[in-house]
Copies of this chain bind each other. A is one copy, B any other.
C-alpha cells in the first residue's frame, strides 16, 4: 500500500493534484488508515500514471474520466477510445493550423519595424490593425 506522497513521487503528480483528481472522480483510494490517511494499491498507482500520461497528451479531465471508465470493458471500449483519440487528434491538428497562422502574422508584425525606433515604429499599429493582416483569424 502506498501513501499519497509515495504516489506523488512515483508519478510526478502533486499531492494536491491527486486529491483534486479524486474529487473529480478520476481516481479512488483503496481505503484509509485509522488516522484518516489515504492508502493506494498498485492499481491506484497505475491509474494515476495513466491519467498523467493522458494529461501530457493534452486530453481533458472529462475525456480521461471516460477513458478510465472504459478500462477492461472489451470491444465496445475499443471503439469508444478510438473515437476519443480521433477527436483529440483532429483538435490538435486544428490548433496547430491556427497557431501557424498566428506565427505568420507575428513574423509580419515583427518585421514591419527594425526595432531601433528609427523612421517611426509601426509595431504598435501593426498589433492594433486587423486590416493589415495577411490572413484571417
Q: Please list the residues of chain A having a beta carbon within 8 angstroms of any beta carbon in chain B.
A: 46, 49-50, 53-54, 56-59, 67, 70-71, 74-79, 81-82, 85-86, 88-89, 92-93, 95-96, 99-100, 102-103, 105-107, 109-110, 113, 115-117, 121, 123-124, 127-130, 137
A110→B92 CA distance, assembly (Å): 14
B113 touches A89 (CB 8 A): no
Closest to A79 in B: B115
A interface, by DSSP: helix, strand, loop or mixed?
helix
For the A-B complex with A57-B137, A85-B127, A88-B106 known, give 5 more contacts whose Cβ atoms are closer than 8 Å. A54-B127, A58-B99, A59-B127, A77-B121, A81-B121
Whether B106 lies near A57 (C-beta < 8 A) is: yes
Select which of B46, B50, B89, B105 is within 8 A of A106 by beta carbon: B89
Minimum C-beta distance from A51 to chain B (A): 9
Determine if A103 and B96 form an interchain contact, defined as CB atoms under 8 angstroms apart: yes
Contacts of A75 in B (CB 8 A): 116-117, 121
Q: Are A117 and B49 in contact (CB under 8 A)?
A: no
Partner of A116, one of B78, B81, B137: B78
Would you call A129 and B53 a contact (CB within 8 A)?
yes
Given contacts A85-B109, A106-B89, A121-B75, contact A57 B127 (CB under 8 A): yes
